[in-house]
Amino acid sequence: MSYGRILAISGCLFLAACSSWSASESKPQATADLRNGSGQSVGTVAFFEEKDGVRIAVKATGLPPGKHGIHIHTVAKCDPPDFTSAGGHFNPTGKSHGLQNPAGPHAGDLPNLVVGADGKGSLEYTNKLISVSSGPNAISGASVVIHAGPDDERTDPAGNSGARIACGVVRKS
Ligand SMILES: [Cu+2]
Ligand SMILES: [Zn+2]
């Protein structure tokens, strides 16, 4: 096979790869599969690295209706049923808890997830304080935890959001 032919073939492969990347613009850079304390799947979290931060898209199902605190926690370990293994909130900059706390927030703090009467909830939020996989604020290898109650977005260390009811490890996709 001639060198030129090899170049042509590898060029095609390269283009094919490029087109599949551009066709998958909406492919997240990382995801977390959420499971409840009984091990059942209750949704997913997708992370998209964008110009103005990391867009976080939560889709949850099978949860109790109402507002639920949801955060990125430090440890990539979701041991049911209480998920204490996930550690505290992701907080590489040493701030206090809460999006509405003047001394905050933790980089891993998020707005509440609102779940409807059908047990479904979704949340879209762009977090400017994290990255997916590079730098000191990278959340790849952290986890996402959903709590039983609402986060007051002010009270250290977790906004009084109560027990942990679901957890998922953040994995690069
Ligand atoms: Cu939490
Ligand atoms: Zn926090």
Q: What is the CA(1)–ligand 1 centre distance, in A?
A: 59
pTM of the model: 0.85
Q: What is the CA(121)–ligand 1 centre distance, in A?
A: 17
The per-residue pLDDT for range 88-145, each reduced to its tens digit, is 999 999 999 999 999 999 999 999 999 999 999 999 999 999 999 889 999 998 999 9
Tell me the ligand closest to 86's alpha carbon. 1
The per-residue pLDDT for range 17-36, each reduced to its tens digit, is 444 444 445 899 999 999 99
Query: Which positions are annotated as active-site residues?
Result: 71, 73, 89, 97, 106, 109, 147, 164
User: Which ranges constitute the DSSP H helices of 59-119?
Assistant: none
- As residues whose CB is below 5 A from the ion ligand 2, the structure lists 89, 97, 106, 109
Q: What is the CA(122)–ligand 1 centre distance, in A?
A: 17
Euclidean distance between CA atoms 154 and 26, whole angstroms: 33
For 72, 137, 144, the CA distances from 86, given in Å and listed in that order, are: 9, 17, 8
Pick the CATH number of 26-172 from 3.40.50.1820, 2.60.40.200, 1.10.10.10, 3.40.50.300: 2.60.40.200
The per-residue pLDDT for range 36-74, each reduced to its tens digit, is 999 999 999 999 999 999 999 999 999 999 999 999 999
Q: What is the CA(144)–ligand 2 centre distance, in A?
A: 12
Euclidean distance between CA atoms 170 and 47, whole angstroms: 9
Q: Any idea where the domains of the chain sit in the sequence?
A: 26-172
